[in-house]
Chains A and B, each alone.
Chain A
Amino acid sequence: MMDRTDHPDFEAKVAFLKFATAALFVLFGVRLFYLQVMQGATYRTLAENNYTRTIVMRSPRGIITDRNGRLLCRNRISFSLVLDTAKEGSLEKTIAAMNRILGLSMTEAEVKAALRRSPVPSLAVLARDVPPDWLQKVETHPDELKMLRVETELRRDYPSGPLASHAVGYVGLLSEEEAAALQVRDPDPFIEVGKAGVEKTANAVLMGENGRRTAQVNALGREVEDPRLRLPGVGVQKEPVPGKAVRLNLDLELQRILTEALGEESGAAVFMNPSTGEILAWVSLPGFDPNLFSHTVSARDWQALAEDPRHPLLNRPIQGSYPAGSTFKPFVALVGLEEGILTPGTTFYCPGGWDFGGHTFHCWAKGGHGGVDLLTAIQNSCNVFFYRAGDRVGIDRLAKWGALFGLGSRTGVDLPGEGSGILPSPAWKLSRNMGPWYPGETLPVSIGQGYLTVTPLQLLSFYATIATGGKRYQPRILSGEPRLLSSVEVSPSTLEVIREGLERVVSGGTGKACHIPGLTVCAKTGTAQVVEASAGKDTKLLDKAIRDHAWFAGFAPRENPQVAFVVLVEHGGHGGDLGAKIARAGLEYLFFGKKPGEAEEPSAGPAPLEARGRAPSPSEG
């Protein structure tokens, strides 16, 4: 019989087992002590990081209205498909399941590109404006689509579409660079920032500030509701501050009338209150639909817009740069009068051209204008008079006064991407390494050609300054206090001469098409030569692409001007008719409440704009 006494080493074996068991439990105890007591706080933090997630409380962007409160931009609810790579799972399998379940056809490369674009490296917006039932589809496949979720967001909606698109602008998802520049650190891939127009310039006001709350989530990323698991620190950290509404100076109705008047043409029309700088209309054609950008612009759509030969994305009033053409002539006259070189009685003979330095400079009227004094020269836009006047005034004086009127520099309008045009001078030419200034180069500048280029807004600003008698206001799309840029000292007599000339242009000169009974409109036509070849030719016979641009710029009424305007029709031919007719449509609406197509009402003369409630606010001066 085996007994524990006859069993070899029985006691030793039992002792060994005791020792081994004790050793194992000591090991476990030490390990537990290390994990729970010594490292406990560290693991507690790790556990908390596991289940707390910072959730961004999005602040809605402010709405945008015109001066009468009509909506230009609002928000709408939209659903977006978001990929969260912080969740466990295989990207490859998720994409396959997503394509199968949601009927998409995304490649891994596209998904990775979306991840790279995102300001939050682990999150990517794969599709926006997805059907609401995707929410359910994603929820019902928690295993396969663990890395996906459908989120609600507020998207921009522009009810008037392309109308005023260049003024309002559009938004897009925050890029990494913008996140750094705007100091946005929210872990949210849905932050939209203005990329153009007022959306961009007023971005800080419109955007508001996102709030933050800490949420408790389980391993699937779902929020935990059980109050027993509620921990300190969970809850709202910061309430969101909603973006503020922004009111523009634009009059949507005027905007619409001018846009329709321009029709299929490419061009620009800007109306402004000269004594406040309030911009009443900002038309740039062709326009684009900003709602397109509110959906993530597909590469194809973007390319189509960017490569359109008519450049719909170009904000023509500030980004287009054109020769001023004859609209520059009143400026030359003003400089001559102020410098005492010209008088209202100064008369030159126009035989249809002027020989200068072995070259004949033509007038647009082949037969010539005969003897013309200053007023007639403005009225009929005689080139020869201004060649000779400009020659006498000289480039230096033109450059000095041009700078005073803000030519060659930005107006400071509250829209992004403004260009500055070119105000040529000998110094400018030298700085560009183009050699010394030749007197013959002053001649084309005197009729608004040559090296001179302006943006439509610069030209408008000049005419507005004539209207105010020298006060230059910053042109402003956003409503707010007027801001005086500078006051140009111009003698009242000079101003009277220029105004008289401009009135004659409309009452009996090249701008007759803008003659409105009961309103004294002061304006000037202009033709900006696109190519040298067109000089002196009947532009109607030329190809549209090389036809001259047509200008029409001025203000009204002559006494107490309430609106200044500029109209540019690209390749519109001689400016007399088309530009003047467009301006007339706007003026008739502003002063008589007349909308195109409506039957003409008998009017009791120019009613004060204020009475109609859509007027620019009167200046304080």
Chain B
Amino acid sequence: MAKMTMVQSINLALKQEMEGDDRVIVLGEDVGKDGGVFRLTEGLFDLFGGERVVDTPLAESGIVGMSIGMALYGLRPVCEIQFSGFTYQAFHQLESHAARLRRRSRGRFSVPMVMRAPYGAGVRALEHHSESREAYWAHTPGLKMVIPSGPRIARALLVSAIRDPDPVVFYEPKALYRAFREEVPEEEETFPLGKSRMVREGADLTMISFGAMLPPTLEAAEQLKTQDGVNAEVIDLLSISPLDDALFTESVRKTGRAVIVHEAPRSFGAGAEILSRILEKSFFYLEAPVARVTGFDVVVPLFARETAYLPDVPRILRAARGILKT
């Protein structure tokens, strides 16, 4: 086992999948010799050559559209869009084609591709480099949308995404790229898409979060324990779509209280869907209103104000304590 950052663990997943399957092709802007602007594809060009680690012209729709064609031909393209803020130029290709070709062809074709993109705020970046728009993809039937929260799970989830028979949008929390290291085994690890995982057990409160918001959520859970004697259960959602409501339903029915934490704007965000499911399936188990701690319905401000935009431990704690009182 080696201690790895998320950058290294994702790189490991790409490398091992490319070694094991010559259908896997990595493409995108600067993914070749440069190794990607965040160095996620570092070393792959030297190992696999320019035909499999493909530097593309600067055109997001082109990258995704070409990936769709590759997937239709039977390859397993993993394309990188440099920032999720630039994926919108490819929105049409994913929504109109990647997500629909299986249905349109009645199962003759499928589009086993992955679109990777770093998302989220907190790295003092320029405009278009800080947003969190997973809901766009989650709202599209036919697409899968997943977000890892740490090095080890990122590697396992990406391996599963690459092997998945359907198109997967894989958002990488760039604030966590080098935030901490974890042991990542050399041998294969996968994690099924469409499943969440329990990362902390407790009986008093359910906290649901994902991606870069998981660490502050866990930290808030620790403080609730030490300062308030409250045992919070924390669920790492991982799969925004398909949404695994079984795990949080079970938890909420046990605790009767829930806080949902994400950095995307609140309205129509993932939290809205989670909350709806809680109301539909666990209404009579609830002891208090469900709280959402989210980004605001604004354009992410430039970095001088981004910490005020992002949910943090004090905000999560305030929300949790608010519903624990009732």
Q: Do A and B bind each other?
A: no
Residues in chain A within 8 A of chain B (CB atoms)? none
Binding site for A on B (CB under 8 A): none
